[in-house]
Amino acid sequence: MSDHLTVPFCNSLALRQAARAVSSMYDRHLTPSGLTNSQFSILTAVHHQPGVDMVTLAQQMVMDRTSLVRAIQPLTRDGYLQQQSDPASPRKLVLSLTAAGQAKYQEAHVYWSAAQAEFEAGIGAPQAATLRRQLAGVSQNR
């Protein structure tokens, strides 16, 4: 008997199972950094887009704004993220990494790289690249 349910015609179940398995692996690798996979993803997005506004980041991460606010609270509390009003549009909040956030990102990136390597070793680098493209297409066509 298998440890996980297989319903061959259910795309949702297969994607959820894969997402949980992959997230768990990344969380395991990131544990020494004190960040979760979700937190590292947020730091990565802000690292690559300093000054990104909350609405844009929520859309890019395929999250509702309320969930994003909850997700960034511990990162702000721990001094990794800074929120401030956009000078061009004061009602808009923008995010940037603090110096501590940059350091935490660099530290965690080493662990993330190990997770990437484990994943790619499991399915192959070309298949991983193909899968990323296919999944990006799925999330962009929602």
Where does the pLDDT of residue 138 fall: very low under 50, low under 70, confident under 90, or very high at 90 and above? confident
Where does the pLDDT of residue 142 fall: very low under 50, low under 70, confident under 90, or very high at 90 and above? low
| CATH number of the domain residue 87 falls in | 1.10.10.10
In a domain, 11, yes or no: no
pLDDT score of 90: 84
Query: What domain count does the chain have?
Result: 1
pLDDT score of 88: 84
Per residue in 73-120, pLDDT (tens digit) is 999 999 999 999 988 888 888 999 999 999 999 999 999 999 999 999
In a domain, 113, yes or no: yes
Cα dist from 51 to 6, 17, 102, 104, whole Å: 43, 34, 14, 18
Q: 38-72 b/e with 16+ CB inside 10 Å = b?
A: bbbbbbeebbeeeebebeebbeebebeeeebeebb
In a domain, 102, yes or no: yes
Where does the pLDDT of residue 24 fall: very low under 50, low under 70, confident under 90, or very high at 90 and above? very high
